[in-house]
Amino acid sequence: MSQPCSVLAPVAITGAMIVSSAVPEADYPTFSMLKAYALGERCISTVTHRIYESVSASSNVGHDPTDLINQFGAVPWWVDQGPTNLWAMFDGYVSTKSAASPLAITLRPGSFNSVALFGLEADGLSIAVRDAPGGNVIYAYSDDLEGSEPGDYYEYFFDRFKPQTDFVVTDLAAFNNAEITVTLTRVTGLARCGLLALGDMKPIGLTEYGAKVTPNSYSFIDVDKFGRTKITPGANTTDMSVTAKLGIAEAAAVYATLKEVQSVPCVVIATDLVDYSPLRVFGLPTPTLSFDGPDLCTVSLEVKGFI
């Protein structure tokens, strides 16, 4: 295939990096130490950017939900219900999605050379990257999120519309004070984004033919004693298996990269070729580096896709 296999370890986004956002963080009122929370009442923390639900039948006053003792202690007061709307696209999971109309956000995350978006539910996407706040635009993109790929005239005229649910751009010029604005639009309903990842895309070798992707469903299937089947829909993920070759001179640097992303959910791209777009997955990579000879190494990568 002779296409580079690369990994993108996302920059950890902090509140200081968010310049502006059209995505509200007002899912529920902010937690107050003075308020008495009833059973089932919810609040948010602007420190952890998480939603918490009171699980105590008695008066819940003065119990900070961000204190793990108040979640997992002998007397639990709160249950974590997931990220707030604004921070859902930065929590490392594709299934938790930020939603707004339009969904627009401007970030200054420092240096980065790649952008990846997953779990998209939108009609249009625009991205603008500047070399500095108010500076020159070094990358601009604006187009419909159309994923249909008709194989013949019949499919072109009659096949159903297929939305594009992910988008990746690489090889951006890196600047220490770069600024990026991402905007998602949707004609009907809210635009949604499951993951917005920024960082340095690092090559780990040249992808060999034979890469595999395995779609997984976490739907619950129950067959009763009469043979009737009930399916409870669940989330879907994609696992990927890929092998790449590299020269011995690159082995130390690639090994350092693989150690850097170990136990870190990241974007793995086996190739940039459009026809091989399924070969890009967000998940947890498990690498093996094999020294096959005096001049050649092999990287075997198993990626467990994240929900």
Mean pLDDT in each 10-residue stretch from start to end of the chain (307 residues)?
87 96 95 96 97 94 96 95 98 95 97 96 97 96 82 62 88 96 97 97 95 94 92 92 96 94 92 89 95 94 94
In the chain, the amino acid numbered 153 is Y
Q: What is the DSSP letter of 90?
A: G
pLDDT of residue 289: 95
pTM of the model: 0.91
216-221, Cβ contacts within 8 angstroms, sequence gap of 24 or more: 216/305, 218/307
Report the greatest alpha carbon distance in the chain: 70
pLDDT of residue 214: 96
User: b vs e for 3-36, b when ≥16 Cβ sit within 10 Å of the residue's Cβ?
Assistant: bbbbbbbbbebeeebbeebebebebeeebeeeee
pLDDT of residue 159: 67
Contact 240, 5 (CB under 8 A): no
Contacts of 228 (CB under 8 A, 6+ apart): none
Instruction: Classify burial at 139, counting beta carbons within 10 Å of its beta carbon; exposed 0-12, middle 13-18, buried 19 or more.
Output: middle
CA separation, residue 70 to residues 10, 73, 84 (Å): 31, 6, 19
pLDDT of residue 237: 92
Calpha distance 211→240 (Å, rounded): 7
User: What are the sequence ranges of the domains in the chain?
Assistant: 3-20+88-305, 36-83
